[in-house]
């Protein structure tokens, strides 16, 4: 059995830790804040799965592919949708109490879904319910092991990932920064990254402050391939008050409508599905409407749903409105787009394996290909559960060759030549070498720059100016940096990656929209992959993600 380091305590990390412990591996679970603090905890919308008689895996697959705007990996989507129902049942066994009605489990309809298939818990507190159940499960496993004198699972809270340790081309552990300032190195057989996204890149985000992209940044610095980082999803409706709390897609699924500042409904003239159009379309439409009305937020009118439904179905949003002095049962509330979910990340195959042997990535930190250019609503929690389970299953199999991404991506059904231009990759590495001459980066300035240049609307000119500015900034020395300084350094690395990738993708597709290239180009319907060029290239052997490749055994039901 392996020694496994799991970094992150959202759904992906917690489920990976539980699965690995139950399989017999020795697990060290590390999280930057307290164990329950993660993006998962703030997820409102729910988890999508084809669990009902009038639904099917094929229908879920088609909806996911449609939302992904031509960039999904069909094999990853097949895995996501076909294994999703079993993983939801696992969550129920772990204690997640999904909402019920007289017919059984309650289900809702969300944007771009052709069926009502989204499960919720606590109305709009699905993520919190999942997080609480899995935290309790992890603690129970740890307490039981310690009571028997074992150390099958050890939990380290308030410990930040600084960097991965790579020896002879293999990830062998990680350096951490503990709350007391110590910097221990953990040596293991495998590292599973589950560190979530990077909403802190942007001025306006629905993510908690801990979402600083630590895992993607560390993997890229270690030489792992990253992919599709230009695709950041902006949720159309965050409450336009300090803190930008999320207003779930499910509110529009129940019938709420978007209005201009003069009270006119505008989405009906833009898309046949109106408020339930794909997220990228709704977010851009709101941003355009805001620009037309001088920057004022648009209004979400849910008054027609009635107080009883709003307070019973959406208690979290009701409380956020009340805290802001709003009563959404009797008045429309102001909303605006905010950074919400990263479709790109560390490139993985269908088993969570990255281009570096010994390194796995699951959840939002990973780019599996299941989301393509624009994630289907409520597929994020599902992806975290499905691929965390698969990564642990892969751990128990004889080690296979690391997958190859980029110019070998044709093995997964993509055209060749998907690497970002060598010139852009070189510029990224050159920018990181400005420590001696650059201006110290300010996180607020970085967030504002990314919001303006690489937010909902983008252009070549704005991205080019942003690239020049980012190249002139430097981060603190990682050997002596504090947690906040390490986070800002990670955001600077990721900001450069996103801007370079957005410049390289000369089209508009899904969540990536450029004013100078407003249309999609069929020849560009492929992933963009990059890795550091200032590291020696590794001899990677391609592994197909198609079903013909060796398959780890099926999961054992919990």
The C-alpha atoms of residue 243 and residue 378 are separated, in whole angstroms, by 22
Nearest Cα to Cα of residue 212 among 198, 225, 222: 198
Helix (H, G, I), strand (E, B), or coil: what is residue 407?
coil
Residue 535's CB is within 10 A of a number of other CB atoms, namely 13
Q: Please answer whether residues 457 and 284 qualify as being in contact, where contact means their C-beta atoms are separated by less than 8 angstroms.
A: yes
Which residue, among 431, 532, 503, 429, has the nearest Cα to 473 in the 3D structure? Answer: 431
Q: Which residues are catalytic?
A: 279
Q: Edge-to-edge strands of the sheet including 107-108? A: 47-48, 118-119, 107-108
- Extract the runs of DSSP E, i.e. beta strands, from 292-373: 298-301, 333-342, 345-347, 359-361, 366-367
**Which residues are paired to 153 by β-bridges?**
27
- Report the 10 Å Cβ neighbour count for 416: 12
b/e code 193-232 from CB counts within 10 Å (16+ = b) = bbbbbbbbbbbbbbbbebbbbbbbbbbbbbbbbbbbbbbb
Residue with tokens 């298939």: 117
Q: How many Cα atoms occupy the beta-carbon half-sphere of 107 within 13 Å?
A: 19
Which tokens is 397 given? 């199999």
Report d(CA 530, CA 420) in Å as an integer. 6
Give a three-class secondary structure readout of 195-247.
CCCCHHHCCCECCCCCCCCHHHHHHHHHCCCEECCCCEEEEEEEECCCCCCEC
Distance CA 424, CA 186 (A): 33
- Distance (Å, whole) CA 282 – CA 43: 19
Cα–Cα dist 492/432, whole Å: 9
Instruction: State the DSSP code for 469.
Output: H
Q: Residues with Cβ < 8 Å from 270, sequence gap 6 or more? A: 277, 281, 285
Report the C-alpha gap between 219 and 405 in whole angstroms.
Answer: 14
Beta-sheet pairing, 345-347 with 366-367: parallel
> 325: exposed, middle or buried (C-beta count within 10 Å: 0-12, 13-18, 19+)?
exposed
User: 195: which 2 tokens?
Assistant: 């560190």
Q: Beta strand pairing status for 107-108 and 104-105?
A: unpaired
How far apart (Å, rounded) are the C-alpha atoms in residues 300 and 359? 43
443-453 vs 483-504: helix axis angle to the nearest 10?
A: 20
The token pair at 244 is 């930008």
């Amino acid at each position: 059995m392996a020694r496994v380091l799991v970094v992150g305590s959202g759904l992906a990390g917690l489920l990976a830790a539980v699965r690995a412990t139950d399989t017999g591996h020795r697990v060290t679970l590390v999280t930057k804040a307290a164990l329950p603090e993660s993006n998962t905890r703030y997820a409102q919308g729910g988890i999508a799965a084809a669990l009902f008689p009038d639904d099917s895996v094929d229908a879920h697959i088609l909806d996911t592919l449609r939302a992904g705007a031509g960039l999904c990996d069909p094999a990853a989507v097949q895995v996501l949708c076909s294994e999703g129902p079993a993983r939801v049942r696992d969550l129920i066994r772990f204690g997640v109490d999904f909402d019920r009605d007289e017919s059984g489990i309650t289900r809702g309809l969300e944007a771009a879904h052709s069926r009502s298939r989204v499960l919720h818990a606590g109305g709009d507190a699905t993520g919190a319910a999942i997080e609480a159940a899995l935290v309790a499960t992890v603690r129970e496993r740890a307490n039981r092991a310690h009571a028997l004198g074992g150390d099958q699972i050890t939990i380290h809270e308030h410990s930040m990932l600084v960097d991965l340790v790579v020896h002879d081309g293999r990830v062998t552990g990680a350096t951490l920064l503990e709350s007391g300032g110590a910097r221990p190195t953990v040596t293991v057989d495998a590292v599973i990254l589950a560190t979530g996204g990077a909403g802190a890149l942007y001025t306006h985000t629905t993510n908690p402050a801990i979402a600083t992209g630590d895992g993607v940044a560390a993997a890229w610095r270690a030489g792992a391939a990253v992919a599709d980082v230009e695709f950041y999803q902006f949720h159309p409706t965050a409450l336009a008050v300090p803190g930008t709390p999320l207003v779930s897609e499910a509110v529009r699924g129940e019938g709420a409508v978007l209005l201009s500042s003069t009270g006119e409904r505008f989405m009906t003239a833009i898309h046949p599905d109106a408020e339930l159009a794909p997220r990228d379309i709704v977010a851009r439409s709101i941003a355009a409407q805001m620009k037309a009305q001088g920057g004022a937020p648009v209004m979400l009118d849910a008054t027609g749903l009635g107080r009883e439904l709003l307070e019973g179905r959406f208690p979290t949003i009701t409380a956020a409105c009340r805290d802001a002095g709003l009563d959404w049962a009797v008045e429309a509330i102001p909303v605006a787009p905010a950074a919400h979910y990263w479709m790109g990340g560390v490139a993985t195959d269908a088993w969570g394996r990255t281009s570096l042997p010994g390194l796995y990535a699951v959840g939002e930190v990973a780019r599996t290909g299941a989301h393509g250019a624009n994630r289907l609503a409520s597929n994020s929690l599902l992806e975290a559960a499905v691929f965390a389970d698969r990564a642990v299953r892969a751990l128990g199999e004889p080690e296979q060759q690391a997958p190859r991404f980029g110019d070998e991506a044709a093995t997964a059904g993509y055209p060749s030549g998907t690497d970002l231009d060598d010139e852009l990759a070189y510029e990224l590495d050159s920018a990181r070498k400005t420590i001696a001459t650059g201006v110290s980066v300010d996180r607020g300035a970085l967030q504002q720059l990314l919001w303006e240049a690489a937010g909902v609307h983008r252009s070549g000119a704005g991205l080019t100016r942003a690239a020049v500015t980012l190249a002139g900034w430097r981060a603190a020395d990682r050997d002596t940096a504090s947690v906040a300084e390490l986070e800002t350094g990670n955001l600077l690395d990721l900001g450069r990656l996103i801007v370079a990738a957005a410049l390289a993708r000369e089209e508009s597709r899904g969540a990536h929209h450029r004013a100078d290239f407003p249309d999609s180009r069929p020849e560009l319907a492929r992933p963009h992959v990059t890795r550091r060029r200032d590291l020696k290239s590794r001899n990677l052997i391609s592994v197909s993600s198609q079903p013909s490749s060796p398959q780890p055994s099926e999961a054992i039901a919990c």
